Structure 1
């Protein structure tokens, strides 16, 4: 599969009230957040789509109070993995 281009009409781009050089970055971040919230993208893939490292991505999620998709089962697996390393 190749890259996907989303067309945004110029009047909508202007309505965003963002500097022209920030439009693409902001739209990619918003798409990444929306897809992560809906469970369509993992945190790592959403961070990559947003063009952010994991630390920046986690800060963005925290600032927006977006719950992480991390279950008790995930925690148990992480604890078991860490315990095996000792």
Structure 2
């Protein structure tokens, strides 16, 4: 699924597309609708960078065993060893 946001709307919000993606990702992570891995992918950031963004905003990580397993599987699929 794709969402089209007009340049006019981005200009009105005084945001870039990347900033909007990050804001949506942070919000959905904070609401526990996305895992850390999912939110970092939506924000188009690696997980460490996304964690720094969360830390800068004083947003705690909610990271459980299921998310750890998901991250391990993602790393395996990417060929990381």
Q: Same fold (TM over 0.5)?
A: yes
Structure-1-length-normalised TM-score: 0.65
1:13 aligns with 2:10: yes
Deviations 1:38-73 (A, max 9, x none): 0100000000000000110110010000011136xx
Q: Distance in 1 between matches of 2:43 and 2:14?
A: 19
What's the C-alpha RMSD, in Å, of the aligned pairs? 1.8
Structure-2-length-normalised TM-score: 0.69
In the other structure, the counterpart of 1:4 is: 2
1:57 aligns with 2:50: yes
Name which of 23, 27, 39 aligns with 1:34.
Answer: 27
Q: Which runs of 5+ in 2 are unaligned?
A: 66-81
Larger RCO (alpha carbons 8 Å, 6+ apart): 2
- Which stretches of structure 1, 4 residues or longer, exceed 6 Å deviation after superposition? none
